[in-house]
Structure 1
Amino acid sequence: MSNRRARVSRITEDEINDLILKLQTLLPDSSSRCNSRVSAANILKETCNYLKKLHKEVDDLSERLSQLLASGVITTNDADIIRTLLQQ
């Protein structure tokens, strides 16, 4: 049974290559490298670094938004709109 399950869940090398190419297109500045051959390991490293950078940006923006809300710079009506947008 486990042998059969292993065969069904296996992904082919072509599928992996296709997924790596899709990942590469999602990375910034990937259009300049699309024609050049980049190793899958480098693309995965770049993807991890990019995701870490995005997480940091989200954290920084969340902190800034919290500061603005706490300072009263943003009106109550604006704060309600922002909360609604963030919940979507």
Structure 2
Amino acid sequence: MSTRGSRASRITEDEIKDLIRKLQAVIPEPHKTGTIRGASASKILNETCNYIKSLHREVEDLSERLSALMSSIDTSSAEGELMKSLLVQTMRRSER
């Protein structure tokens, strides 16, 4: 008898296959190397992990670019102060 939980709480093989199909559906084409029939679940999970890592890199890159933009804005003018204020508001909304 397993100590991990009752049989009713286990995920079935069909549910796992369905979850793998859903994962593969959200991975953009450049990151896909096969279909659910042609690719193993481990390959699809690996593709998903690689895609998530690329998203993290993209977020870091965009954050660096935004920081550089924010520091280059001349806040001595009303327009510059407004731009900086709008960027800060946008960043706060995206963090929610």
Q: What TM-score, normalized to structure 2?
A: 0.74
> Which residue number in structure 1 is paired with residue 53 of structure 2?
52
Q: Distance in 1 between matches of 2:28 and 2:64?
A: 24
Which structure would you say has the larger RCO, counting Cα contacts within 8 Å and 6 or more residues apart?
1
Largest Rg, 1 or 2: 2
The structural deviation recorded for 1:6 is 2.9
Return closer, same or farther for 1:53/1:4 CA change in 2, 3 Å cut-off. closer
Give the gaps of 5 or more residues in structure 2.
none
The structural deviation recorded for 1:9 is 2.2
CA deviations over 1:5-42 (Å, ceiling 9, x no partner): 33232101111000000000110117895575221111
Give the gaps of 5 or more residues in structure 1.
none
Q: What TM-score, normalized to structure 1?
A: 0.80
Deviates more, 1:16-25 or 1:70-79: 70-79
**How many residues are matched?**
87
Give 3-state SS (helix, strand or coil) of 2:39's partner: coil
> Which residue number in structure 2 is paired with residue 84 of structure 1?
89
Q: Distance in 2 between matches of 1:5 and 1:36?
A: 31
